[in-house]
Structure formats: C-alpha cells, structure tokens
Chain A
C-alpha cells in the first residue's frame, strides 16, 4: 500500500466508525425512552441519529467517489453493494431524524423504534462489508 492509500483507508475507517456506533446507540436510547418516558433519552436519540446521518453522508460520498474512480475495475456489480447499503442507511436515517423531530412520545413510538432497528442493522452490515473486506479491497481504500 502506498502512504496515500494507507491514509485514505484510515480516514475512511474513521468516518465509517461514526454511523457504526451512533445508530446502534440511538437504538439503545430509543429503548430507554420507551421504557421510562424520560424525554432526555429521546433527545439523545435525535442527536445520535443526526450525527450518524452526517457521517453516513460523508462515507457514502467516499464510497461513490471510490466506485467512480475505479469504474472500469472488475466485479463492478458486487462493489455496488457497499454504497447501496450506505445510501439506504442514509435514506432511512433521514426518515428516522424526521420521526425523532416529532414531539414527546411521537418522537420515538413504534415507528421510530422500527426505523432505529433498521438503521442499526444496516449500519452493522455496512461496517461488516468494509471492515471485514468481504468485497473488493479497492472499495475501501
């Protein structure tokens, strides 16, 4: 690996670490809110989701650029899986951010919990794909 690739790989890993941690954390605070009706838990969720969304957007942009730079590479279809997962995570995360902007119990409720579960699963899938190097190494440079 060249030094540039090593730095790139490190930055990508750091960016991805945020949605990987923040979306599951939001799921935990959502559960805490639904169990206690203490609004501060829901406030935590809202910020965690917003943070996860911002970094998800960055890492998605990264993945798309990496894909475009290496468009002619082989196994193209397989390499689409990672940015596709991130894109889906971003859309669901955005919906979840809107859901968490509703007031009081509606800020989570059953639908908010459902979205948080989906976001958590997708974030973990994206992290597994990238960190586990299941796909083409080029994607995660």
Chain B
C-alpha cells in the first residue's frame, strides 16, 4: 500500500507542473518565450487515435474535403509530377537503439499515438486526370525503398531521399511503375537515425538538391560525437552528388520548399523538448547560407540550453534567430507554398504548414494545417487555421497531418495523414464535382 501511494504522490508532484500559459503568443517573428521549466517527468499527453469514421477534416467555408486515397502505409510527403500524377512516399524509419530505461518507456508511450500499420517503404502513384477527387489509377510506383520521405523531380529524374541515401530513378512521362534499380546520388548520414526523415527539394534552377538532415537526439543526450553532419541542411549537386553544408544547428528540418517569388530555400524545423510545454517553438525559416541556428547549444537565437556541456559561448554568439515561430511542440512536418495565385483571396501568397501535433504538453497543440501569409517573399501576418478537425473535442486524434502539397494547376491542396493513412484533397467548392462536401471515398 505504501509503495503505490508514494509512487502516485511523487508522480503528481513532478508531473502536475506542466501547465501552459495561454496568454503567451508563440507564433510569428517575435514569439513570447517563458523561462526554462524542467520537471522530473516531462508533461506528456498522447492523443488517443480513434480514426475518422464518416467525418472529414474541416476546411474554411467554400472548400470541400475528401479522401483521395485511403489504406496507405504511413503516407508522409507528396510530390505532384509535371503530368499531374501524385506521388506519395510511405514508410517509417528510425529504430535508434534504446540507451536508457527512459528510451524504452517513452517508446512504448509514443507508440500509442501512432498508426500500427507496417512501414510501406514504397511510393504510391495516384492519377486523377479529370480532377474529380477519385483517382482513376492507383499503383505502387516504386517498391522496396528504405523509409522514403523527401521527393523531388528534375529534368527526367525522380529523386527520392531514403533514410540512408539520396537516390534517383529515370522517369518517362505517364509511367505508372518504375522497376529500374535506384541510382545513388549520395549517401546520407544514417547512423542511429534518431530523427530519420530526410527532407528534399530542388533549387529554383534545378541544379541543386537540398536535403534536410535531423539531429540524432533531442539535445545531445546520445553524445555529441554522433551529431557529425546532423541537424544540417545539405546542398547536393544534382549531377555529381558533391555536397556541402548550407546551414547547421537546425535541429530537425522536416520539410524544405522553395519560396516561389524569391527562389529562396525555406524549411519547417522541429525544436527541442523537455524544457517546458511552451519551449521551444517549432519554426518556419528561410535557410540562410552558412547560418547556425543554435542547436543544441541555444534556441531561438542566443537562449542557452543548460543541458548541453561543455557549453560553447562563442558558437552561441553566432546563432541566428529563425524567421517565424509556429508554436511549441506543434511538430511541423509539412511545407508547401501557394503558387500562381494559390486559392485566391486570403490564400494567394503564403505557405501551408502541416502540424503533426504535440506529445510534450498537456494542452495538445498542432494537429492541423495552418496557412502562413507571405508578402514580398516574407511572412506577413499571424498564421490562420486552414484544415482542422484532426482532434475531437475531448482530445482524441482522428488523424495527424504530415506532408502538404499545393497543386497550382488543379488548385487543390493535398494533405497526407499518417494516422488514418489517408491523403486528403482540399479544393474550392466550385472546383469539385457536385459542389457539395464529398464523402470520403472508401
């Protein structure tokens, strides 16, 4: 009797201090940053998955939402090919070994918030030529990949960022299946692979491929010797595979995209955990040449993280502040800029950001797709919810958004949902057949 009581008391004492202050504004270029709050147990809340049933995500008035594809195997990032075919990278990587009892326990807990489907390790092709939201063709485009994530298409080649290497496949327009062996462009850092996703985009001129490589730990707790060429963005020469490091200290750049009016490289980045429910905001930033974004020594510029020893004050002094905060622990995983006028109106110039959702705070955050308005190639206002309904009123998860892809030709937004294993299609109501809210195609 004494033991369970003592346990419960200790748990309450250490876990109850995880409340958020709703008055803090943690989005935009100048987020409010509270002081560091470390607790013996981190505040943890996993939204229990319940699926969508007959529901669909909620878009602004005047838009319809329907399921373009269901029963995928962990859809993450997507790419629209020049002929309009949609590619969906499916899979789960990682498998970093547990080093401490904590790794074992946290792994079990976090698993409860994710799908139990096996990793697809493939790319699925969806063809919806008449844009009615019902694909005429669905094929396994490329199989036997190793946790594919980032996708890019340049000049007859499809580039795929597996969790351990960047490969390419020759592609002829109209192909629905590629059986050719992958051709390696370059190996990617893959030891341990704590943050395994390798994001990818091509430069505006197509000559350079940018690869986002996440850190190998939350904040260096696996030792800093395993962080060589982690938490960086690489520029890879498309033809030779030669690479250089563009930016460092950028903890987990989960999606990269080129801003269409300036041609600049932008990224969404997931920041560190376990120093409070409102630290540190994930962010959207232009990736500046040679910039150091602080990880692991500091966050949001020069705010020192006391957990990292030995400290590096000289390096911290050089840390730059990101451009735009998205909120703490929202887990931004998707980034796609509106092009060619976007949806018009509010959604003309800016970026869609998919937020997978939090575990490290009691008040769930993220679990939606937001719109960040831009003007002149820079963020120009507070984020606006674009696609919601991923959480129920009582905090259970119907789905979790990952990659987003705006298709300027069909004027649709695609959203990958790796909890319900669905790709959602959001279109202006006039754009869809029937004009009413379409039921999910199941």
Contact = CB atoms under 8 A, between A and B. Distances in A.
Asked if chains A and B come from one complex, the reply is yes
Contacts of B274: 102-103
B220 interface: yes
B138 to A, nearest CB: 43
Nearest to B102: A101
A43 B220 CA distance: 13
A87 B3 CA distance: 7
Interface stretch (B47-55, B78-86, B178-186, B306-314): B306-314
Contacts of A24: none
Contacts of A50: 101
Contacts of A107: 221
Interface in B1-26: 2-3, 6-7, 10, 14
Interface in A12-27: none
Interface in A118-132: none
A38 B223 CA distance: 7
A57 B6 CA distance: 12
Given A47-B100, A104-B309, A87 B40 contact: no
A103 B218 contact: yes
Interface in A40-86: 40, 43, 46-47, 50, 57, 60-61, 64
A107 B38 CA distance: 11
A90 B221 contact: no
Task: Give the interface centre of B6, B218, B308, B309 by most chain A CB atoms within 10 Å.
Answer: B309
A35 B233 CA distance: 33
B308 A104 contact: yes
B3 A106 contact: no
Interface string A100-115: 1111111100000000
Given A38-B223, A107-B221, A46 B40 contact: no
B239 interface: no
A140 interface: no
Contacts of A95: 10, 14, 40
A104 B100 contact: no
B350 to A, nearest CB: 35
A102 B40 CA distance: 7
B41 interface: yes
Contacts of A57: 3
Given A91-B6, A102-B274, A39 B221 contact: yes
A101 B102 CA distance: 6
A98 interface: yes
Contacts of B2: 64, 87
B397 interface: no
A7 to B, nearest CB: 25
A34 to B, nearest CB: 9
A46 B101 CA distance: 7
Contact of B223 (A40, A64, A101, A106): A40
A81 to B, nearest CB: 15
B308 A98 contact: no
A103 B219 contact: yes
Contact of A102 (B10, B99, B217, B307): B307
Nearest to B218: A103
Interface string B208-219: 000000000111
B112 interface: no
B10 A101 contact: no
Of A60, A61, A104, chain B has the most CB atoms within 10 Å of the CB of A104
B110 interface: no
B100 A101 contact: yes
A37 interface: yes
Nearest to B99: A43
B187 interface: no
A112 B35 CA distance: 21
B429 to A, nearest CB: 48
Interface string B296-318: 10000000001111100000000
Nearest to B221: A103
B222 interface: yes
B193 to A, nearest CB: 18
A28 interface: no
Contacts of B218: 103
Contacts of B223: 38-40
A50 B104 CA distance: 12
Given A61-B3, A91-B10, A98-B41, 6 more contacts: A90-B3, A101-B41, A102-B307, A104-B221, A104-B309, A106-B306
20 contacts: A38-B223, A39-B221, A40-B223, A47-B101, A57-B3, A64-B2, A87-B2, A87-B6, A94-B10, A95-B10, A97-B101, A98-B40, A99-B40, A102-B40, A103-B217, A103-B218, A103-B274, A104-B221, A104-B296, A107-B221
The 9 closest A-B pairs by CB, nearest first: A98-B40, A101-B102, A103-B221, A104-B307, A46-B100, A39-B223, A105-B309, A50-B101, A104-B221
